Each structure stands twice: as C-alpha cells, then as structure tokens.
C-alpha cells in the first residue's frame, strides 16, 4: 500500500486551463487559474 505522502508527491502539477501555465499550489486553495489569468478577470 502506498503512503499518503508518496501518493500526493506523484500527482501531476496543476495547470491553468486558460493559458496552460503551471499553477503554484497552496494549501487550502481551490483556485484553478494562475495568478496572471485571475488578475485579468478582475480588470
């Protein structure tokens, strides 16, 4: 059986659906877009 830590290390990096850039993951964050695309939506 795989340990939970090993499982999460093997997950692929989150990718922004708008531009395809890798999203910097943060604990308790459910955002799907990268910071750049989120900033464009606010404008």
Burial of 34 from C-beta contacts in 10 A (0-12 / 13-18 / 19+) = buried
Q: How sure is the predictor about 30, in pLDDT bands with cuts at 50, 70 and 90?
A: confident
Q: How many other C-beta atoms lie within 10 A of the C-beta of residue 23?
A: 19
* Percentage of the chain lying above the pLDDT 90 cut: 28
**The model's pTM:** 0.60
> Domain residues for 38?
13-42
14-26, pLDDT tens digit by residue? 899 999 998 887 7
For residue 4, being part of any structural domain is answered with no
For residue 7, being part of any structural domain is answered with no
Q: How sure is the predictor about 43, in pLDDT bands with cuts at 50, 70 and 90?
A: low
CA–CA distance, 24 with 41 (Å, rounded to integer)? 18
**Confidence check: pLDDT of 3 > 70:** yes
3-state secondary structure of 22: strand
**Confidence check: pLDDT of 6 > 90:** yes
For residue 37, being part of any structural domain is answered with yes
For residue 2, being part of any structural domain is answered with no
């Amino acid at each position: 059986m795989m340990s939970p830590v090993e499982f999460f290390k093997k997950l692929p990096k989150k990718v922004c659906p708008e531009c395809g850039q890798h999203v910097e993951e943060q604990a308790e964050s459910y955002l799907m877009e990268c910071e750049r695309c989120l900033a464009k939506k606010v404008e």
